[in-house]
Every structure is written in C-alpha cells, then in structure tokens.
Structure 1
C-alpha cells in the first residue's frame, strides 16, 4: 500500500497524518484552514478528543503564563513570540491585534480529565500526572473514573496528595486479589511522605517534632513506623552544606514492620532504594543545571534581593497588562511599506521561527522548572538527576567539563569538518541530526505496602512531557501490556521484580531499537577499539623510527642527520594523550560497575525478602543443584481436606509462587551477565592501557639509548676539540718567542734602529695602554651584567632628565599643558554622558527582554529540533472563530500558530527555513552584551533584568 500523499505544508516529510501521537501536530501545523473541518470529521472519536484536549491544555497554559504572579521562562518567551508576530504582521501588512490580546479562556469547556488544572492553589502538583495500574487475579484491569485505558491511565498528583477519599485512589479500599501500582514521576521526598500517609489514612509525620517528649511518649502511627529515620531520612547521603547534585539515598532494601506493638517475623512492607543508569541530552542537563542554580539563588536571597524580585514581578505584571491591551502600531504608509521588503521580511520571518521554537521548548520545560523551584530546597528536599561524574564526585561544585568528556558525549557529538561551497554536504546533513547525550545516574525508590500496593518514584528525562520511548515507565507499560503468561503479575512481588529488572537493564536490552537512546556498550566498544588501533599504529611507528634511528647512527660518519627521528622517539605526548583517554574510559566503566554492584546488593536484599515471605509455603527441589527450582506442597496452602475448587486455587497459587521464585533467580543471573559485559569492556580497556604503558616504557628505554649515543658522540667531539687546542697551543708556543723577537727588534727605537723615540719612552706608552685594555676586557668579561647595566642606566637617566626637563619647560611656557588638561576633562565628561544615554537605551531594551539573561549559552549551544509550523490561508477570518472550536485551533490567538495564509508557507519554503535548524538559545545576545562591556554603568544585572 502506497504511503499517503502529504501536502507541501507538512512539517515532516514522513507520513504522520494517521498517527495518533502526531494527529494534533498534523491538524494544527500541516493542514490549511479550509481542510481542517473535513480532516477533523473523518477522525475517530478518540483522536478528536485528543485534539480538543491538547488545544485546551495549550490555551490554559498560555492563560496561566500571562496571568501568573511569578514570572517564568515560558512567560518571557511567550511575550517575545507575540512581539515577533506583531513585527511580522507589520512587515506583511496583516492585522496584528489578535497577537496582542490575551486568549479568550473559557473554563466551562475544560475536559473532564483536566479538573485539577483550574482553581487550584497548588499549580505544580495540579499539572503533574501520576500513572496508575491495577491488576486483578494477574490480569490488568481499567480503573473506573479515570480517562484512557490500561496501561495509560493517570491521575493528578494533587489528587494523590489530597485527603479526600472520593478522589484519592490510595485511600479507597481494594479487594484481596487486586494489586495496585502508583508511580511518582520525581524523587520528591515530600510527595513520598504525603502519599504514604494518605495510604494509611493518616497525617504526614513532622520530622522536626518526632524527637519532642510529647511525640516520643505517644504511640507511633504506621506512617511513622514505615518512615522511621533508619529507613528514610537516615538513608540520605548528604547534608545541608552539600552540593545539590550530591543528594541521593544509599543503596538499601529491607522489610519494615509497621506494627508499633509487636515485631513481625516476616514483614509485609518493604522499602528499596537503588541507583540505575539512564541518559539525558547535554542540552537538557544544561537547562536543569541552570534552573537548579536559579532555584538556589532564590532560596538564598537576601531581603534586598527579595524586594528587587518583587519589583521585577510587579513590572512583569504591568508589562503583561500592556501586552493584553491592543498595541498601537504605527499606520502603514507607502514609505513604511518600502522598508519591509526583501531582507526585512526575511528577518521578521526568521525571528518568528526562532521565537516559536524557543516558546515550544519553554512550554515543554515549564512544569519541570516550576517543580524544581518549589521543591528543590524544601524540607525534605527534591533529589535532582545526577550525571555519571556527579554520582561519584559529589563534592565537586561543577562537573560540566567532566560531563562533556564522557565517552557517550564524544561518541554522539558531530566532529567539525571543512565543508567546501555554500551547499551542505552529506556529512553536514547527517551531523545536523546528531544530538549530544550523556549518561545519568537516577534513583529508584520503591515501597511494597501490605503486599498489595506498590509505590515507585524515579525521575523522567528533563522536559519530557510527551511520550518518551526510552523512559523506564514507558518500557514498564509496554511490558505489562504484552505480558505473555496468564497471571504473570499475580502479586506485588512480581511487580517489584519487573520494575527492578527494567531499571537494571537500561543500555543492556538488545531487543529495543531506540534511535534516540545511546547504545552505551557499542559506544564504549568503539572507543576502546579506536584507542587500540591508535596504540597499534603508534607501536608500529615506534618500530619504524627506531629502525631509522639505528640506520642513521650507523651511517652518521657519511651523512648528517636532521635529528627529526630522535625528536619523534623522544616525544611522548601522543601516547600520553591516548593513555589519558583510556584512563577516562576505565574510570567511567569503574563507576558503572560500582553502580551495578550496588544494584546487586539491593537485589539480593529484595530476593531475600521475597524468599522469606514465600519459603514457608514453598520448598526448593534438591535434585537439581545447578539450577534452583521450587515446588509447593499440596497441604501447605490449604491444610486438611480440600475441595476441588480449593485444589484448583492451590495449583494456581503454586504456579504463581514458582514463577515468582524462578524470576528471583533469573533476576540475579541477568545482572551477573550485565556485570560480565562491563568486566569485558574493562579488561579490553586495561589491555590497551597496559600496551600503552609498555610502549611508553620502550620509548623511555630508547630515549636512554639515544642519550648514551649522544654522550658518546659528545665525548668524541670533546676529544677532537682537545686535540685541536693542543695543536694550536704547540703552534703558539713555537711562534710566540719568534714573534716577540721580531716585534722587539723591529721597533723604531734610537737604541735599536736609530729611530725617533728612545726605548724607555716607547715602554711608557706600551705597558700602560696594554694594561688598561686588558683590565677593561677582564671587567666586561667577568662582570658583564652589573657593569654594563649600570653604565646603560646612567646614560639613559642622563638623557631622560634632559629630555623631560626641556619638554616640560616648553609645554608650560607655551600654555599647551593647560589646554591639554581642559581637553581631557571635556572628553571624560562627554564619555560619561554617552555612557549614561546609551546605557539607558540598552536598559530599556533589556527590560523588555528581561528574562533572556537567564538563558545564557554555556559554550556549547546546539540546535533544537522543533516540528511546529502553522499555515492558514483564511487570514483574519479564522481569527474570529471560537477559541475552543476544533476549527479555530490555528487562530492567531493560539501559541502554536506561527503565521497564517499561503504566503507565509511560500516564504518559509523559499527561504529553506526548517524548524530543525533553529537555534533557540536567544540568551546568547544578552551574554554578548555583558561580555563586551555593553551594559550600562553602575547598574547591576538584576536592575538590567
């Protein structure tokens, strides 16, 4: 069957009009206004509800951003987008009033599944969903009263935290044959305490008042027993002064008795904390680090900073009200229209695309941003995600450099290359799809309550409000959905085993083909393979240059060598760099093996607890010592006489228990296989490291041979020089008396040759002049530095004194000095005035874009993939449609809309502008202003914002 033909306005070149996950994108961004009604009416009911639900959520989010009391990144990006849309409408002579008005929000038409979005004081918890799954007799069932079906049913976190039994599923009773699973999408200790307290119909324990006398004397509640310090706060491995990324729970797994009177022999409740590997994009890591830094600043702000922030929020509200009112644009005249042609229209269109992509990203990150700001420094606090190096070097303040030195980051980052010509080459087209990624270390928190309720807590990737195929919970839902055996999930222990196994198998599951998730094992194998190849090439090069050095040494008496061979042999920088890389690889593998060892310890505790709970009913078979297997007696589940129905139930429970215990054995065996795979990588890296060390040792020995040869050569040269000096000495000794005699008797003296001067007079001139020359020569020879510097300094000082005296006299006498000082004062005054005026202008511009400075680039800004572009040829007619009508989701009032009319599409297509090529890091402009000293004087960064 041929793929459906897509219109030229589609955001993607792949068929996506029938995909449920992309139906909203196709409806809003690909179809023209005239085709939307027909497309909408031909969709299934569920798809129609999805479009309505998504557009309702977008409109509600826009309303919330424009009316929020505290400003956010998404609110600032929304204002910037609206401003860009007004400029584009001005450039294309289109009406722009709809982009200045706020959304016509109608809360009466909200979907039933979004009840927590409106009228709630807790805007964070009411916008985060917690997945819920129910199993009855081993079979998944749908929870009544919740939208969607298994395994995609979710409830609002605000509902799980509320004390209302009618809305909180945790407080509602369930049958004995039902197993429930609730997941909290963040490692938030506040959520955990509240949820467990709601499960037991109790209030959240006050950790600060537990040590008061009045609290110690009273009986403890079940929640306090389950969250005792040794099982909860005592397992935290950080203090108040630690870095934010140092927060984590120690690997732990143990059964907990909640009975304050008696101690259970086999507790039904269990707490488990386990680290596991996952991944994140480098951009997501950078964004989360920036938000964490901003949240820390807000938490540690002084009174003056709080007052300044309040003034900024008030200014933001004033600006929001200004944007909500109609903007008075200057009327378009023939002169003004002439300026919006060609390049200006292209510039306005490019600005719209950039701000639209930035707005999309900010909307995607808005919930996580608000969650971190609220709970990062709460008591107890939120545990953020950690990188591989942060999990091991928790004391480091900043690990950005180490994070970008990971093997996975280097393997997923495109290498720069020279591209000739204006058109991009195939390598450019391939590199633009690459996304730098890094390895993260997340935490799994798991509780089994009363053997029928499982609560887990682990984070998701930063900003992933949309489905993420590589997410742990997404994999769990698919695994639960396609369970092969009837009754495979018959107890809470089965759920716990599958959750722990799914967290442990990240990066090691060969059955999953996810292009976005990095193939960790393949990347490490490739990095070690490349280093091994370079080490082999370096060894071959060493042997070649060693042979050349030996040949040059033998032929040295005939030819002169340029010493290039010796310089290559003495240079250890290439091998040193290779050794550093392999050491980094070994370090990362050691960290991952350490995490796997912690997982092994936690899994052994889980298996031990499960076996303690099931072994009284199950006994191992002794005839197969190589592989443990289990059996259940007929009379151990139902003692005495049993009926046929009880016997069938006995057989079913026997099979379930055997399956659970067999899964515990396979769980440990699978972890051993993954650890063995990491050991293989470590052994390969160690072999390469040992080979490099051997090569460096050989180079050191070869350097010793070269030094010995050079020493022999120097000794031979010294011997030759001594022989030459001896020859010169002998010649000098022979000819010195002869020269003296010739010189003496050849003198023009009266006593010798009837000359003009007597001999005594000539001696009076000869000896003093010779003595003076010899003395000066000896002084310069043996005291050159002190004497010469003193003479030079004396001469320079004399010349400088005369020059400065004369110049000062001329300047003073002619009046040039006074005139120069007046000109300097005037120039400084003008410079101050210029700085004040330009500083005020820049402050005005930066005040309108007050949030851009938060999003400064950190040295490695990458391009963001965005897929939203909207075209509408109905112009202002679609803008008058009902906001919540499915045919008006492309109206200018919607934040998804980029422009309307076919002209926009033709311009975008002609320009070759793609949302995938948009760099959304608009904060780079503010950073450049501050780095180049363009900020106004005497104004702080907060005043500029």
Structure 2
C-alpha cells in the first residue's frame, strides 16, 4: 500500500486502504492494535469493507449502482410489455398509426420494418446490458468467496493455542469481516437472481414479438392474396367487356376506312390496304411477342437502354465540365488582367513617388554647375560687358541732359 497523493483525486483517496486504516487507528480508540496480528486482522476488515461501507462518495457505492442499473432495465422491460399489450393484434393493411401512415404500400412496409428493428435493437441492447451486469456480479461473488476463504483461514490460525493469547483483539475484526462478507454475498446473489429473472422476461418478450410478427406476416399474406383475387376479378370483368366490344371496334374501323370500293373516287383499293396493313401488323405482333417472352431480347433492350442512358449522362457531364472549365478560364483571365492592371498602377505610383523624391532632393547650385559643364551660355542681358556698357550709356545720357540745362 502506497500513500495517497494529492493528484490521485477524491475517489482514489476515499477508496485508499492505507488512509482508511490510518484514520481509524488514529481516531477510533476502541480499535486498538497491540501487535502485528491485530493490525493484520484490521487490514483484512478494511480490505473487505473499504469499497462498500467506508466511502461517502455516491460513485463508490457499488451495490447502489448495480441496483439502479437493474431497476432501470426492469422499468424498460415493463414499458416494453405495456407497449406490446397496447398494440395488440395489429392489422397492417388498415393500420392507423401516424408513424406508418402513407399512401405508398412499399414505403409503409419500410417504415414498419424500421420501427420493429428499432424496438428489437432496444430490447437486444437491454439484454446485453443485463448479461454484462450478471457477469460483473458473478465476479464480485467470486471475489467474496475468495475473501471469505482467506478470512476463515486467518480465523483458524488466530484461534489456535499458539496465537490465542496474542489475537484476542484481532478475532473480533475477523468475525466482523466474515459477517460482512456473508451479507455482501447474499445481496449479490439476490441481485443475480433479479438480473436472471429480468433476462428471462426479455427473452419471453422477444419470443412474443417474433410470434406476433409471424402472425402479422401470415395475415398480410392472406390480405395480399385477397387483394390479388379482387384484382384478378376486376381484370376478368374488364377482359369480358373488351371481348364483347372487340368485334364492334374491328368492324367500325374496317368500314370507316376510305376505300374505292366503299367511297369511290381516287381512294386506294381495299386489297392494297390489306397488303400493306396485314404484314405490318403481323410483324409488329411477332416482335412484341418475342420481346415479351425472350430473355435475350429483354437483356438486349435493357443493355441498349443502359447504354443510351450512360451516353446521355456522360454527355451532360461533359457539357457541365466544359462550361465549368470555360468559366474557370474566364475567371482566371479576369484575375490575371486585374493583377496586371494592379502591377502597372503600382509601377506608375512608384515612378511618381521616385520623381517627387528626386525633385525635392535636387540642389539648385549643383544643377547650375552641371548646366555650366554642359556648355551653358549666360544670356546677353546677364553678361558683365553688356551691363557695363549699359551703365556708361546711362551716365553719358545723364551728363548731356545736365549740359543742356546749363
């Protein structure tokens, strides 16, 4: 036994045998252990009862969990019996259940089959759950049997003359453990019997459902036979009227034809019409009978029909794929055109930004120096000689005006 860690969780801490023994030895003064024999008996008692009586968490109450599971399955079985009794002997041809009410007989049978399959699936799953519970309870009973044998062996050794004076405190622990094991065993056997009875009831229910399904199938077959008989009677009546009016129809069509013998004029002779119509009718009737009674011809027509259907389907698929590819190509072209325009706009924007940056970074004197190096000529009005000559002329004109005034 190792010490429980804080990371083990609450369930493990409550089901830990070491903590259970440690807490009782330190807290309960009546459970004193004077030697190792007493401690071994106390350990045996706690090993028997730690999972059944010394845990306060609801998920560790083993017997309560099994009892709740058995109660749920028993209730499900009772509801299934009530539903089966409420349905009773159902007539599938005139069933008034909204879940299977439909105008299509095939769809109706399909829905009925789905409902029956669902109910059988629920009952089968309940049977499987009961079998698993029974196996687990039998495992517990086997464990209790092994523990009871071990407790009995320990009690025999403790009552021997050699250890009797050392085990007077340990014997009550072993006796209490034996009583608990007997109680647990009887409770487990009781639940096993309950599970077995519930399983037998489910088996009976499934047998009753199966017999009811067989009876319904027989009744449905009889109703279908009655329906087929009524349909054959209707067909016979229709055939009788057809046979009665067949000669009248034949003579009406014969004497209603435009022939030269009966109508004169430029109509065809009755003989010519007979030469054309009789072989054509015979050929059509022969082909129809061959197609109706020949398996090879039916297969040939079926294969031809499938071939044309597949050809039409492939043509539709090809047209759809072609249109889709054209659309994808057009979309790709539009995207490429948009990307090209965006690239051109980006180039123009970068060029304009570069030009503006160059204009702002220009040095006037540097440009002037470069212009001079490129044979830049100073305008005439800006040359020094012209300016000096202009100054002399202005001075001469000024002195002439002063002489005139004198």
Per the shorter chain, which TM-score range?
0.5 to 0.7
Shift of the alpha carbon at 1:546? 0.4
Say what the alpha-carbon RMSD is for the aligned residues: 4.4
Q: Quick one: distance in 2 between partners of 1:800 and 1:538?
A: 52
Q: Quick one: distance in 2 between partners of 1:803 and 1:536?
A: 59
Q: Is the 8 A contact 1:497 1:664 kept in 2?
A: yes
Q: 1:771 to 1:502 in 2, by over 3 A?
A: farther
* Residue in structure 1 matched with residue 87 of structure 2 by the alignment: 545
* Residue in structure 2 matched with residue 782 of structure 1 by the alignment: 298
* Residue in structure 1 matched with residue 254 of structure 2 by the alignment: 744
- Within-5 A mapping of 1:869-888: none
Q: Which of 18, 31, 34 pairs up with 1:490?
A: 34
Q: Quick one: distance in 1 between partners of 2:306 and 2:12?
A: 78
Q: 1:672 to 1:728 in 2, by over 3 A?
A: same
Q: Quick one: distance in 2 between partners of 1:518 and 1:505?
A: 12
Q: Quick one: distance in 2 between partners of 1:707 and 1:804?
A: 50
- Within-5 A mapping of 1:526-675: 526-546=68-88, 549=90, 560-562=94-96, 567=112, 571=116, 573-574=118-119, 576-581=121-126, 583-602=128-147, 604-605=149-150, 607-608=152-153, 611-612=156-157, 615-617=160-162, 653=165, 656-661=166-171, 663-675=173-185
Q: Is the 8 A contact 1:750 1:758 kept in 2?
A: yes
Q: Quick one: distance in 1 between partners of 2:27 and 2:14?
A: 15
Q: 1:708 to 1:565 in 2, by over 3 A?
A: farther
- SS of the aligned residue for 1:684 comes to helix
Q: Quick one: distance in 2 between partners of 1:565 and 1:795?
A: 39
So what's the TM-score if we normalise by structure 2? 0.62
Q: 1:592 to 1:702 in 2, by over 3 A?
A: closer
Q: Quick one: distance in 2 between partners of 1:574 and 1:805?
A: 51
* Residue in structure 2 matched with residue 762 of structure 1 by the alignment: 273
Shift of the alpha carbon at 1:681? 2.0
Matched, 1:702 2:246: no
Q: Quick one: distance in 2 between partners of 1:478 and 1:802?
A: 83
Cα distance per residue 1:173-211 (max 9 Å; x no partner): xxxxxxxxxx5338xxxxxxxxxxxxxxxxxxxxxxxxx
Q: Quick one: distance in 2 between partners of 1:817 and 1:519?
A: 72
Deviates more, 1:564-573 or 1:662-671: 564-573
**Structure number with bigger Rg:** 2
Cα distance per residue 1:119-167 (max 9 Å; x no partner): xxxxxxxxxxxxxxxxxxxxxxxxxxxxxxxxxxxxxxxxxxxxxxxxx
Q: Is the 8 A contact 1:508 1:521 kept in 2?
A: yes
- Within-5 A mapping of 1:307-386: 365=7
Shift of the alpha carbon at 1:793? 3.9
Q: Is the 8 A contact 2:140 2:188 kept in 1?
A: no
Q: 1:540 to 1:806 in 2, by over 3 A?
A: closer
* Residue in structure 2 matched with residue 475 of structure 1 by the alignment: 20
Aligned residue pairs total 319
Q: Is the 8 A contact 2:15 2:55 kept in 1?
A: no
Shift of the alpha carbon at 1:713? 0.9
Shift of the alpha carbon at 1:765? 4.1
Q: Quick one: distance in 2 between partners of 1:706 and 1:803?
A: 50
Q: Quick one: distance in 2 between partners of 1:184 and 1:801?
A: 74
Shift of the alpha carbon at 1:710? 0.9
Q: Is the 8 A contact 1:585 1:685 kept in 2?
A: yes
Q: Quick one: distance in 2 between partners of 1:738 and 1:505?
A: 101
Shift of the alpha carbon at 1:716? 0.9
Unmatched 5+ stretches in structure 2: 101-111, 340-406
* Residue in structure 2 matched with residue 290 of structure 1 by the alignment: none
Cα distance per residue 1:706-765 (max 9 Å; x no partner): 112111111111111122222222223333233223322332222344360012332344
Q: 1:725 to 1:660 in 2, by over 3 A?
A: same
Q: Is the 8 A contact 1:493 1:610 kept in 2?
A: no
Shift of the alpha carbon at 1:658? 4.6
Q: 1:532 to 1:659 in 2, by over 3 A?
A: same
Q: Quick one: distance in 2 between partners of 1:802 and 1:709?
A: 53
Q: 1:766 to 1:530 in 2, by over 3 A?
A: same
Greater fraction helix: 2
Q: Is the 8 A contact 1:751 1:759 kept in 2?
A: yes
- SS of the aligned residue for 1:657 comes to coil
Q: Quick one: distance in 1 between partners of 2:113 and 2:235?
A: 36
Cα distance per residue 1:266-323 (max 9 Å; x no partner): xxxxxxxxxxxxxxxxxxxxxxxxxxxxxxxxxxxxxxxxxxxxxxxxxxxxxxxxxx
* Residue in structure 1 matched with residue 50 of structure 2 by the alignment: 506
- SS of the aligned residue for 2:213 comes to helix
Q: Is the 8 A contact 2:20 2:50 kept in 1?
A: no
- SS of the aligned residue for 2:170 comes to helix
Unmatched 5+ stretches in structure 1: 1-182, 187-362, 366-461, 619-631, 633-652, 827-945
- Within-5 A mapping of 1:69-108: none
